[in-house]
Homo-oligomer: A and B are copies of this chain.
Amino acid sequence: MAQKGDLLSVRQDIRVVDATIRDGGLCNDFRFDDKFIKDLYNANVKAGVDYMEFGYKASKEIFNEEDFGKWKFCNDADIRKIVGDNKTPLKIAVMADVGRTDFKKDIIAKKDSPIDLIRIATYINAIPAAVEMIEDAAKKGYETTINIMAVSKARTEDITAALETLGQTPVNAFYIVDSYGALYPEESRRLADLYCSIADKYGKSVGIHAHNNQQLAFANTIEAMTQGVSYLDATVDGMGRGAGNCALELLLGFLKNPKYQVAPILKIIEEYTHKFKAEGVKWGYDIPYLLTGQYNTHPRPAIQFVKEDRQDYYKFSNELYDIINS
């Protein structure tokens, strides 16, 4: 596929999605105070960010509300407390995991909700359940995306079959999700090419959500973009599970559309995210994440290693070999 756009021009199809609360919430069990959320919301509006993801619509049957901050559940009333009627160009998103959301009950009609976009997260083996959620949300009046996780472990023929099925639903965008931070830029371009070719056929858009295990989250994001991907996920200071995500400040500085401004995000970093780190909230590139990325596996053992303040990387690399091959 030919390159779409160049380094000096503006692509009107680009949508920047701030996923700080949702992916960053995985680092602190969603315990953010309202002042931070409000300041981040205002910064995103000023920075020209297109969507802000507030968290998950998690099932209160499955998860105990006392074990998490409120953004694990994203009650409409809690969002409204931050955004009022959200009379800004910034749209509000939430994530809903297949099998872990009471979507019929907890996702109400769009006309009564501050939410604009429901992002449906699934593994590739649960596409029919995802389709049911897409249809439900679309019928209620929401935009939807389908976020197929752990794509570095999926077979190309399965991805193709899944996207052909999803093309026939009302979903707005297909998302490439590199949950393990395992993709290299040439693979991101190749996947972007595949996703975009099927998306074009059905009039859909394509997005990317990258992880930074190998310091490639930003590179994979902009390289997928060159192939036609338009929804670009990022988080302030890269805050997100394990090695974290594509940093919003890198992405906004790269994009040439003058509506995007990095300065409001710099203020959030100096006021908040570096403080979170100093207080012990952990994320960002580190050797154990590099290793799970290179092994193309879930970061779980690396997260545990970092939590325990271990630094014996060599021993960990041997443990990981055993975990993966057992």
Contacts and interface: CB of A to CB of B under 8 A. Distances in A.
A287 B312 contact: no
A250 B187 contact: no
B274 A311 contact: yes
Most central of A185, A223, A253 by chain B CB within 10 Å = A185
A186 B254 CA distance: 13
Given A7-B187, A226-B186, A253-B294, A216 B214 contact: no
B219 A185 contact: yes
A40 interface: no
A101 interface: no
- Give the number of copies in the complex: 2
A223 B313 CA distance: 27
Contacts of A253: 214, 290-291, 294
Nearest to A253: B294
B263 A317 contact: yes
Prevailing SS type, chain A contact patch: helix
A261 to B, nearest CB: 11
A112 interface: no
Interface in A210-227: 212, 214-219, 222-223, 226
Contacts of A219: 185, 215-216, 218-219, 223
Interface residues of A, number: 38
Given A313-B266, A313-B269, A313-B270, A184 B215 contact: no
B311 A287 contact: no
A217 B215 contact: yes
Contacts of A250: 214-215, 290
The 5 closest A-B pairs by CB, nearest first: A219-B219, A266-B313, A253-B294, A266-B314, A270-B313
B287 A7 contact: no
11 contacts: A7-B186, A185-B219, A212-B215, A214-B254, A216-B218, A218-B219, A219-B219, A247-B290, A266-B313, A270-B314, A285-B285
